[in-house]
Amino acid sequence: MSNIDKHEITLNINGNSTSLTVEGRTLLHDTLRRAGMVSVHAGCEHGVCGACTVRINGQSARSCITLAVQVDGDEITTVESLAKGEELNIIQEAFWRRHGLQCGFCTPGMLMRVTEFLEENPDPTRDEAREAIASNLCRCTGYQHIIDSVIEAAARLRGEEWSDDAGIPARELGDATEVSN
């Protein structure tokens, strides 16, 4: 067996073509983290939990059971691509307002999965949303607020206003003394 199994690969990470040298065995999540995409979290490293979910050529996938060499030349999308500067995108903001996260560790994987799901199904039922996110484990929320967030995000993406159940950020409330409790 060769001790040096190095490969030059090129990944398009969030729109940036990135040349990397990896071992054949280097897992994609480690490669992406080394390239600065620390949103890609290792939760179980055996393909069960989905915390490491990224999109490969648009399709959600577990980066902990994918070798970097397998996706040579492919487009990889991570959570780092979602916000514009300080501004969350609609799905992120829906998760924020509907408390779709607690510890935040499963959140990037969940967001990548939900982004894909809402592209395929812009007007999902709660049951459809529930099944879609069942690929990704969350230990904090019991999932209910994540499903709320998915439904909220779908409505916003369809052009609807924030629902009454969506929290209003304190900054938008300004001086809350004027707002009834």
Partner 1 sequence: MKPPRFEYLRPDSVGAAVALLNEHGEGARILAGGQSLIPMMNFRIAQPSHLIDITRVPGLDAITDEGNAITIGAAVRQSTVEYSPVVKDRCPLLVEALKWVAHEPIRHRGTVCGSLAHADPHSELAATSLALNATFTVVGASGERQVPAVDFFIGPFTTVIESGEMLSSVSFPVVPAGSGYAIDEFSRTHGNFAIAGGVSVIQLGADGKVASATLSMFGMASRAFRAFAAEERLIGSMPTAEAIAEAADLALVDVDCSADMHGSEEYRAHLGRVYAGRVLTSAVARAQGGSK
Partner 2 sequence: MGLGGMNKLNWIGRSLPRVEDKKFLMGRGGYIDDMDLHGMLHVAVLRSPFAHAIIKGMDTSAAEALPGVVAVITGKQAAELCDWMPDFNPEPNLHKWRVLADEKVRYVGEGVAVVVAESRYIAEDGRDLIEVDYEPLAPVPSARKAQEAGAALLHDGMESNVAHDSTLAFGDVDGEFERAAHIVREHVYWGRTAAQPMETAGSVASYNPGNGMLTIHANSVALTNFSFLVAGTLKIDSNKLDLVPMPAGGSFGSKFWATRATVTAGMCSKFLGRPVKYVEDRLDHALSCDHHGSEREYDIEMAISADGEFRALRLVCTDDYGAYFQFGLGTHGNAMSQVIGPYDIKAISYRAVGVLTNKCQQGAYRGFGSEVHNFALERLVDKAAIELGVDALELRRKNFITPDKFPHKIPGGNVYDSGNYEAVLQEALKDARLDYWRAEQAKAREEGRYVGIGIVTQQERSVYAANEWWFFRGAEGVSSVPESVSLHVDALGKVSVTMYSTAFWGNSPETVAAQVLGEELGVNPDEVSFAYQGTNKGLPGSGPGGSRFTVMITGAVQGASAKIRDKAIKIAAHMLEVAEGDLEYVNGGVQVKGDPSQRKSLAEIAIMPRLFKHQLPDDITSGFDADMVYDHPYTTLPTADRSDLGIFYPMMAHATHIAVVEVDVETGGVKFLDYIAVHDCGTVVNPRSLDGQVIGGLAQGVGQALYEEFVYDDEGQIQSSSWLDYLIPSAMEIPEVRLGHHETPSPFTPYGMKGGGEGGRMHAPAAIASAVDDALKPLGATRATHLPLTPERIISMVNGH
Q: Does 107 bind partner 2 (CB under 8 A)?
A: yes
**Does 14 help bind partner 1 (rule: CB under 8 A)?**
no
**Contact pick of 13, 37, 51, 69 for partner 1 (by CB under 8 A):** 69
Binding mask 6-45 for partner 2 (x = CB under 8 A): -----------------x-xx------x---xxxxxxxxx
Q: Which residue in 5, 119, 123, 165 binds partner 1 (CB under 8 A)?
A: 5
Residue of the chain from 12, 89, 102, 135 that contacts partner 1 (CB under 8 A): 135
Residue 72 or 80 with smaller CB distance to partner 1: 72
Q: Which of residues 26-45 bind partner 1 (CB under 8 A)?
A: 27, 30, 45
128 counts as binding partner 1 under rule CB under 8 A = no
Which does residue 158 touch among partner 1, partner 2, none (CB within 5 to 8 A, set by kind)? none
Task: Give least dist CB 2 to partner 2, A.
Answer: 13
Residue by residue, DSSP assigns the chain as --S--EEEEEEEETTEEEEEEEETT-BHHHHHHHTT-TTS--SSSSSSS-TTEEEETTEEEEGGGSBGGGGTT-EEE-GGGTSBTTB--HHHHHHHHTT--SS-SSHHHHHHHHHHHHHH-SS--HHHHHHHHTTS--SSS-SHHHHHHHHHHHHHHTTPPPPTTSPPPHHHH-SGGGS--
Contacts of 117 (CB under 8 A, 6+ apart): 124, 129, 132, 133, 150
Q: Does 113 bind partner 1 (CB under 8 A)?
A: yes
87-111: burial string, b at 16+ Cβ within 10 Å, e else: eebbbbbbbebbebbeeebbbbbbb
Residues near partner 2, by CB under 8 A = 3, 23, 25-26, 33, 37-46, 48-49, 51, 78-80, 82-83, 86, 88, 92, 95-99, 101-108, 111, 126, 130-131, 133-135, 137-147, 167-171, 173-177, 179, 181
